[in-house]
A and B are shown apart, each in its own frame.
Chain A
Amino acid sequence: MGGRQQAVRVAVYATLGGWLGLSVVGQKLFRAPGRRSWWDKLYLLIPDWRFFAPDPGIHDFHLLYRDELEDGSLTPWKEITSVEERRWSHAFWHPHRRVEKCIFDISKELTKFIEECHRDPDRPVESVQVSVPYLTLLAHVTEQSHAPATTCTQFLVSISAGYDEHDEPRAIFLSALHPVEQLASSTV
């Protein structure tokens, strides 16, 4: 065996062995929602193989927004998330799955961020307003159509039980009111 081949073999063994070892050690059956561990930060390298467990997603998340007008009145809430009804074709072809799942992932990250703030006295809860999930939702909401007299906009994340109509939907996060013009001129 040549020196190069030997070196490549060692590199392959080390990479795969190290990666697999970290993947095994990094699996945590329970992860505290309000605590981001060292392992969580390595999410790009270490997979989380728990798939729908221990607490599966049992709610649909909804994003709504409303505007405050010049006279101080508020427009009715308007929902801007939509999910396609399940079809047979989704078994082969499901192009909008990513964007449909976004509100689920963003809401989870948003609530996790807030729980982290509650645990850490050095992190005021207002800091959520500069977090990636918050800014993502805000940027999305500001791109929606607004009445000409709109001065500020606000979003709401709510959860529902989907097809189970016995459970009432409930709000889980209400944003601050954000000036629309100011946002339009300073891209987040």
Chain B
Amino acid sequence: MTDRVKALASAPDTDEAAEVDKVLRRVEQLAAVGAGVSSLEALAAIRDVEHGSLLSWQVARTRFPWMVGRAARVLDVVFDKEGLRALHGLRLVSAGTVLAGRRNRAGKRAAKAYLAGSSHAMRLRSPYGSDGSEVLLSITLTALTLADLAKDDARARKACLWFIAAQSCLSYGIAGAAKAVSPVWRDGSAIRDIFRTKIFGQRELFRFLNDKPRLNRAIGWVTIGGEALFPLVLLAPKPIARGLLAVGLSFHTGNAVAMGLNRFVWAFVSTYPAIEYCARGLGGDRRKGQPES
């Protein structure tokens, strides 16, 4: 009888652990796609890291004194063109391993750890050409690796989900606040002037926006509002929380089309299952010890 009571008492914990596993699985699948796309692109553009290019290891290795010390023997192999080809090839295999079914748990854990480690290594190699999507992806992959280290400890694994959600919400909130204090974002000229550049913009969009200051101002304020208010997703009631996630997804999709920021979609959307899990209006209440009727 006592065992039966204990079993019944632990049932919600088991359910919660299963749900945490499920959410982590969704996060890792999306992050693996992001890492895979990133490495596939790096392999397709491997000539961009050749000797003498702006991304070559030739000068990048002098950024930190220790890089040309004892570590050079290893780094010069890993971070030069052929080393990078192998590094990204292994990342592709790792992304595939993570995406493959639920079997081979040890292999998947190793794959996630490799994706996390190699993401940090790539950022260490050179900051040139990198962007916020790579930063967020490396943070997410590291948290997933820590969740694997915690194995069956649902509370520690849950902390990893909260960490991913918190970093993602922090990024939106800070991006919104930094735009809110900027005169060029408030008057909308930032929108027109970003789209006039070839690196981030688009010819047709610039022509369209060039003589529409009111529209630019409106887009500027929508961007400020959307980013600054996004962290409310954690506290807002369900319809608003869902709306904020939809706005976030549309925002990144729009940026991918208009600005060519394709990798941001995977990096940010991979954090959404964690946000959904932690958000009060999207199920957070139920998990705080209030079983569904």
Q: B-contacting residues of A (Cβ < 8 Å)?
A: 1, 5, 8-9, 11-13, 15-16, 19-20, 23-24, 27, 29-30, 43-44, 47-61, 83, 85-86, 88, 90-106, 132, 135-137, 139-140, 142-143, 161-164, 187-188
Complex: A8 Cα to B48 Cα, angstroms: 41
Count class of interface residues, chain B:
35 or more
Known contacts A19-B163, A92-B262, A140-B53: A98-B170 contact under CB 8 Å: no
Among A27, A85, A90, A102, contact of B198 (Cβ-Cβ < 8 Å): A85
Q: In the bound complex, do residue A16 and residue B206 qualify as a contact, i.e. CB atoms below 8 Å apart?
A: no
Is B128 an interface residue when CB atoms closer than 8 A count as contact? yes
Q: In the bound complex, do residue B178 and residue A54 qualify as a contact, i.e. CB atoms below 8 Å apart?
A: yes
Is B285 an interface residue when CB atoms closer than 8 A count as contact? no
**In angstroms, how far is the closest chain A Cβ from the Cβ of B191?**
9
Most buried by B among A9, A11, A59, A61: A9
- Chain A residues whose CB sits within 8 angstroms of the CB of B256 once the complex forms: 90-92
Is B245 an interface residue when CB atoms closer than 8 A count as contact? no
Complex: A164 Cα to B58 Cα, angstroms: 36
Known contacts A20-B166, A86-B203: A94-B197 contact under CB 8 Å: no
Q: Which of B136-150 contact A (CB under 8 A)?
A: 136, 139, 143, 146-147, 149-150
Q: In the bound complex, do residue A96 and residue B160 qualify as a contact, i.e. CB atoms below 8 Å apart?
A: no
Q: In the bound complex, do residue B159 and residue A105 qualify as a contact, i.e. CB atoms below 8 Å apart?
A: no
Q: A-contacting residues of B (Cβ < 8 Å)?
A: 37, 40-42, 44-45, 48, 51-56, 58-60, 62-63, 120, 123-124, 127-132, 135-136, 139, 143, 146-147, 149-153, 155-156, 159-160, 162-163, 166-167, 170-175, 177-179, 181-182, 184-185, 190, 193-194, 196-203, 206-207, 210, 253, 256-260, 262-263
Complex: A15 Cα to B206 Cα, angstroms: 44
- Chain B residues whose CB sits within 8 angstroms of the CB of A51 once the complex forms: 132, 171, 175, 178
Known contacts A13-B159, A188-B59: A49-B262 contact under CB 8 Å: no
Q: In the bound complex, do residue B51 and residue A163 qualify as a contact, i.e. CB atoms below 8 Å apart?
A: no
Q: In the bound complex, do residue A27 and residue B170 qualify as a contact, i.e. CB atoms below 8 Å apart?
A: yes
Q: In the bound complex, do residue A99 and residue B260 qualify as a contact, i.e. CB atoms below 8 Å apart?
A: no
Complex: A102 Cα to B150 Cα, angstroms: 38
